[in-house]
């Protein structure tokens, strides 16, 4: 395996944030990028602009909402799946999968689920069940697999600045957290938490009440690794400087590095 930097980034509107995205790509040079919340139909995806800075791409867009993409530096991702199994009546663009640089990458944008209780929360849990069912086969693969994206789940109270003001939010509900834990129990590694078990690390700061300025964040963007991939995990982090750029997304890119040699 090559030495790979793999990132996930909820871009919150790819046309509006394209300058931020291009600056980040040129500065950090990730090898593989999973994007969420494109908020653009397929014809409006900026493939030419990304190609101009060295990135091939596949994408699954949707007008005004959702949308996912996988980018690869100096390569073209080979698409292997578009949408999760069992979603014939699901019109949301939330899952895209590709083989790239020797890794199978699933890019996902899990439903937010608010307000809860209600049909949006029911949809979140149903989508999560489909992901859990499908992920079991990926976890057991002999090939390295990364499931990266905005999971819209705060796994524990350590992953949020203050859980009290979010207690009714779908991101913190016991059902949401239980689904995430069931994924981990299959044998997936939560890469950031694995390397930093005792640190408060955030990937999202909403636009209200100066949450960015006060570092009042949440960790909801995750990169899960199957056992084959986790053997190569060497680094992980958050490019928080992107959140401080003009007209930013409310998320920052979250990344891992898979080393060319397995950890002993």
**pLDDT tens, the chain, 264 aa long:** 789 999 999 999 999 999 999 999 999 999 999 999 999 999 999 999 999 999 999 999 999 999 999 999 999 999 999 999 997 789 999 999 999 999 999 999 999 999 999 999 999 999 999 999 999 999 999 999 999 999 999 999 999 999 998 999 999 999 999 999 999 999 999 999 999 999 999 999 999 999 999 999 999 999 999 999 999 999 999 999 999 999 999 999 999 999 977 655
Q: Does residue 42 lie within any of the structural domains?
A: yes
Q: Does residue 86 lie within any of the structural domains?
A: yes
pLDDT value at residue 32: 98
Catalytic one among 109, 134, 180, 232?
109
Q: Where are the alpha helices (DSSP H) in the chain?
A: 18-28, 47-52, 119-139, 174-185, 191-195, 227-230
Q: Does residue 18 lie within any of the structural domains?
A: yes
Q: Give the domain CATH number at 162.
A: 3.60.10.10
Polymer length of the chain: 264
Q: Does residue 145 lie within any of the structural domains?
A: yes
Active-site residue, 150 included? yes
Active-site residue, 55 included? no
Residue 250 annotated as binding?
yes
Catalytic one among 31, 150, 169, 190?
150
Q: Does residue 108 lie within any of the structural domains?
A: yes
Q: Does residue 264 lie within any of the structural domains?
A: no
Residue 150 annotated as binding?
yes
Residue 60 annotated as binding?
no
Residue 101 annotated as binding?
no
Q: Does residue 186 lie within any of the structural domains?
A: yes
- C-alpha triplet 252, 255, 261: angle, nearest 5°: 170
Which domain, by its residues, includes 22? 2-256
Active-site residue, 251 included? yes
pTM summary value: 0.97
β-bridge partners, 147: 106, 224
Number of domains making up the chain: 1
Residue 142 annotated as binding?
no
Is residue 238 classed as helix, strand or coil in its secondary structure?
strand
Q: For residue 203, give both structure tokens.
A: 């990937």
Residue 206 annotated as binding?
no
pLDDT value at residue 264: 54
């Amino acid at each position: 395996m090559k030495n790979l930097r793999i990132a996930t980034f909820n871009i919150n509107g790819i046309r509006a944030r394209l300058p931020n995205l291009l600056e980040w790509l040129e500065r950090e040079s990730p090898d593989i990028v999973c994007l969420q919340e494109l908020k653009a139909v397929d014809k409006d995806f900026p493939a030419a602009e990304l190609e101009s800075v060295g990135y091939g791409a596949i994408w699954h867009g949707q007008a005004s909402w959702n949308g996912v993409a996988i980018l690869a530096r100096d390569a073209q991702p080979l698409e292997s799946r578009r949408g999760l199994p069992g979603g014939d009546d699901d019109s949301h663009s939330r899952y895209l999968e590709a083989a790239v640089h020797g890794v199978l990458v699933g890019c996902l944008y899990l439903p937010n689920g608010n307000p809860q209780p209600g049909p949006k929360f029911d949809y979140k849990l149903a989508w999560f069940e489909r992901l859990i069912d499908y992920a079991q086969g990926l976890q057991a693969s002999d090939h390295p697999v990364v499931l990266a994206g905005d999971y819209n789940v705060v796994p524990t109270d350590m992953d949020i600045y203050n859980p009290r003001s979010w207690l009714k939010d779908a991101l913190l509900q016991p059902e949401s957290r239980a689904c995430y834990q069931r994924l981990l129990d299959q044998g997936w590694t939560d890469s950031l938490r694995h390397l930093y078990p005792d640190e408060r690390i955030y990937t999202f700061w909403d636009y209200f009440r100066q949450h960015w300025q006060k570092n009042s964040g949440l960790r909801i963007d995750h990169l899960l690794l199957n056992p084959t991939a986790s053997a190569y995990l060497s680094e992980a982090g958050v490019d928080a400087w992107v959140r401080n750029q003009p007209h930013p997304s409310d998320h920052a890119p979250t990344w891992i590095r898979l080393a060319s040699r397995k950890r002993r």
